[in-house]
């Protein structure tokens, strides 16, 4: 395991400003301890336990809270027992180090490093190191024991018939979840460190026989431009994976907390980026039509999965266009509304003090406040806020003559439609407000102009040379088998491996 850690964490490409180059380990124990004490600057979590091994001074260095203390104590006991049974003919530190390295077979998860930088990286990820005075290398023990959240079902991507496993905050665990599902040597992980302060590990996951090498190089190039000091979540590096100068509301970088979804994209020829301490994986390139896909689509009959996707697309258009059309028709083109319905709208809105556009904007503003408060509060209080807010906004506001009942109904239908595609909530929320303003100021013409601008923006957007709206525009017959509709597994199994043929190359 430790050799795997070294493989991924020592051979890294760094993108941080650092005054410390790789310095070889010196033979002086005192200078080695000074190096670590200087790096931690008197930090209380640095643990230095000095021991005596035969006639040589030694120390075990680790970080408190990152190690399993029981395993570390077992290592120390093993070294002490070895010290008691020491061979008298071995008298210099180098032979002593070799004996300890080769004879402590009770703990096989060990390795050695020759540079201070590598040793520092290892103790920061939960290893313990053994330093012996007079020896110019350091012995590393994999004794990670920090607390981690257990693997559980993702809260934002529920599935009826899919896996119940979701990513956690530990990078190595997430890499193992992917490796367990893709037992293929072509699956590659490349790790780099980002963030000059946090020095966060980021892993690029892909299958090297399905991804063009130019795309991998471009991803590395963009990540190297990530010059922020602290990376706490995958969202910090997501903008750097977008095309430079991209002003679209929609993101061409996908997000997922599900290992099965990410593995499916990797097999299609995509690239996944995992960020240490984040349970969300980034997927590039990502297509607009994939926002309407779900892992359950591939466990259902094709006709039902296709019907679900069509419903989601309809819900998307309802969520962004319905309030705007309501305001535009009622304000500028009431003749287009059936007379009976128009009479009810007129009676409801005629007694309110606000214009129809302002009334709709107020309701949406209140809805966003209630949604945010219910999301951030503890679960029990969140439900209470939703109930009280619904009663106040829905009943009291109508009875008081502040808001019309048809407006409440339109906003409620819009909100329900938004919940069908939660990954698009951010652009939907903003577009909905823009369409309300366009409909309230310019009527139907304003809505059509804004819709044309959004459509042109979507069709012109691309990432890594892949059009964001493919395979619809530009049209690709091969990709259409798994886009708006989903064909049978017999058709989906006839896949092509190159990324330009996506989506559908895996399923």
For every residue of 357-404, DSSP letters joined together read HHHHHHHHHHHHHHHHHHHHS-HHHHHHHHHHHHHIIIIIHHHTTSS-
Q: Are 492 and 507 in contact (CB under 8 A)?
A: yes
Average pLDDT over residues 426-451: 94
| pLDDT recorded at residue 475 | 86
Q: Which residue has the higher pLDDT, 435 or 363?
A: 435
* Boundaries of every domain in the chain: 2-141, 171-286, 302-460
With CA atoms as reference, report the closest residue to 427 among 280, 319, 308, 323.
319
Per-residue pLDDT for 266 more than 90? yes
Burial of 421 (0-12, 13-18, 19+ CB in 10 A): middle
**To which residue do tokens 């991803």 refer?**
219
Q: Are 191 and 203 in contact (CB under 8 A)?
A: yes
Q: What is the pLDDT of residues 394-435, one digit of tens each?
A: 777 777 777 888 888 888 899 889 989 988 999 999 999 999
| pLDDT recorded at residue 465 | 87
Number of helices followed by number of strands (H, E) in the chain: 16, 13
Average pLDDT over residues 234-250: 88
C-alpha to C-alpha distance for 345 and 407, rounded to whole angstroms:
9
Residue 466: which H helix or E strand, with range?
strand 466-467
| pLDDT recorded at residue 15 | 40
**The total number of residues written for the chain in this structure:** 507
Q: Are 289 and 472 in contact (CB under 8 A)?
A: yes
C-alpha to C-alpha distance for 326 and 280, rounded to whole angstroms:
37
Per-residue pLDDT for 489 more than 50? yes
* Sign of the C-alpha dihedral computed for residues 177, 178, 181 and 187 taken in this order: negative
Tokens matching residue 132: 């012996």
- The reply to whether omega before 471 is within 30° of 0 (cis) is yes
Average pLDDT over residues 299-316: 92
Q: Are 444 and 329 in contact (CB under 8 A)?
A: yes
Q: What is the pLDDT of residues 25-66, one digit of tens each?
A: 888 888 999 899 888 887 888 888 888 877 788 899 999 888
Per-residue pLDDT for 252 more than 80? yes
Q: Which residue has the higher pLDDT, 479 or 317?
A: 317
| pLDDT recorded at residue 142 | 83
Q: What is the pLDDT of residues 365-376, one digit of tens each?
A: 888 887 887 777
Per-residue pLDDT for 18 more than 70? no
C-alpha to C-alpha distance for 333 and 446, rounded to whole angstroms:
13
Tokens matching residue 429: 């929320």
Q: How far apart are the first and last CA of the chain?
A: 33
| pLDDT recorded at residue 244 | 83
* pTM attached to this predicted model: 0.80
**For residue 25, what is the DSSP state?**
P
| pLDDT recorded at residue 217 | 93
Tokens matching residue 130: 């053994």
Per-residue pLDDT for 279 more than 60? yes
> Per-residue confidence at 391, pLDDT binned at 50, 70, 90?
low
Bridge partner residues of 235 (DSSP): none
**To which residue do tokens 């190297």 refer?**
224
Q: Are 440 and 327 in contact (CB under 8 A)?
A: yes
Please, how many CA atoms are within 13 Å of residue 295, restricted to the half-sphere of its CB? 22
C-alpha to C-alpha distance for 270 and 285, rounded to whole angstroms:
6
Cβ neighbours of residue 159 closer than 8 Å, sequence gap 6 or more: 153, 258, 294, 295, 296
Q: Which residue has the higher pLDDT, 321 or 196?
A: 321
If you average pLDDT over every residue of the chain, what do you get?
83
| pLDDT recorded at residue 220 | 92
Q: What is the pLDDT of residues 81-121, one digit of tens each?
A: 766 555 555 567 777 778 777 776 556 678 888 999 888 88
| Strand ranges of the sheet holding 271-275, from the earlier edge strand across to the other edge | 13-15, 187-194, 200-207, 271-275, 281-284, 254-256
Per-residue pLDDT for 289 more than 90? yes
Strands (E), 238-329: 254-256, 271-275, 281-284
C-alpha to C-alpha distance for 188 and 370, rounded to whole angstroms:
44
Q: What share of the chain is helix, strand, coil (3-state, %, to 5)?
A: 50, 15, 35
> Per-residue confidence at 387, pLDDT binned at 50, 70, 90?
low
| pLDDT recorded at residue 66 | 84
Average pLDDT over residues 468-488: 87
Average pLDDT over residues 311-327: 94
| pLDDT recorded at residue 10 | 46
Average pLDDT over residues 146-173: 83
Per-residue pLDDT for 7 more than 60? no
């Amino acid at each position: 395991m430790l050799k795997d850690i070294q493989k991924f964490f020592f051979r890294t490409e760094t993108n941080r400003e650092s005054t410390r180059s790789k310095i070889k380990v010196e033979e002086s124990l005192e200078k080695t301890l000074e190096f670590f004490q200087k790096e931690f600057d008197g930090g209380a979590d640095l643990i230095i336990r000095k021991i005596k091994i035969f006639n040589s001074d030694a120390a075990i260095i680790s970080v408190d809270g990152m190690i399993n203390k029981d395993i570390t104590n077992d290592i120390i006991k093993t070294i002490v027992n070895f010290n008691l049974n020491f061979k008298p003919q071995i008298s210099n530190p180098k032979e002593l180090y070799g004996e300890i390295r080769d004879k402590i077979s009770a703990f096989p998860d060990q390795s050695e490093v020759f540079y201070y930088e590598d040793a520092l990286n290892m103790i920061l990820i939960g290893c313990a190191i053994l330093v012996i005075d007079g020896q110019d290398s350091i012995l590393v023990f994999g004794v990670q024991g920090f607390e981690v959240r257990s693997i559980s079902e993702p809260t934002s991507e529920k599935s009826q018939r899919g896996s119940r496993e979701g990513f956690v905050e530990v990078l190595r665990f997430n890499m193992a979840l992917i490796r367990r599902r893709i037992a293929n040597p072509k699956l590659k992980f490349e790790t780099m460190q980002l963030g000059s302060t946090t020095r966060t590990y980021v892993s690029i996951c892909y299958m090297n026989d399905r991804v063009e090498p130019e795309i991998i190089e471009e991803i590395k190039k963009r990540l190297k431009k990530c010059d922020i000091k602290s990376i706490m979540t995958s969202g910090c590096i997501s903008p750097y994976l977008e095309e430079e100068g991209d002003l679209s509301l929609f993101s061409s970088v996908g997000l997922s907390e599900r290992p099965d979804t990410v593995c499916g994209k990797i097999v299609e020829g995509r690239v996944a980026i995992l960020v240490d301490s984040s349970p969300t994986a980034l997927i590039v390139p990502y297509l607009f039509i994939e926002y309407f896909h779900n892992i359950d689509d591939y466990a259902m009959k094709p006709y039902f999965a296709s019907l679900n996707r069509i419903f989601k697309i309809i819900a998307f258009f309802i969520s962004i266009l319905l309030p705007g059309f309501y305001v535009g028709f009622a304000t500028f083109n009431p003749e287009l509304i059936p007379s009976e319905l128009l009479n009810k709208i007129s009676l409801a809105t005629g007694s309110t003090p606000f214009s129809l556009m302002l009334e709709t904007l107020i309701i949406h503003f209140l809805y966003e406040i209630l949604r945010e408060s219910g999301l951030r509060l503890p679960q029990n209080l969140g439900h209470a806020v939703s109930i009280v807010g619904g009663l106040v906004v829905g009943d009291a506001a109508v009875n008081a003559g502040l808001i019309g009942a048809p407006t409440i109904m339109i906003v409620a239908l819009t909100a329900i439609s938004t919940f069908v595609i939660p990954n698009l909530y951010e652009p939907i929320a903003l577009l909905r407000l823009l369409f309300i303003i366009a409909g309230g100021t310019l009527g139907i013409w304003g809505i059509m102009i804004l819709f044309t601008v959004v459509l042109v923006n979507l069709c012109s957007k691309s990432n890594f040379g892949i059009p964001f709206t493919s395979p619809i525009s530009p049209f690709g017959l091969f990709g259409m088998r798994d886009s708006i509709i989903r064909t049978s597994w017999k058709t989906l199994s006839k896949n092509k491996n190159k990324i330009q043929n996506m989506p559908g190359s895996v399923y």
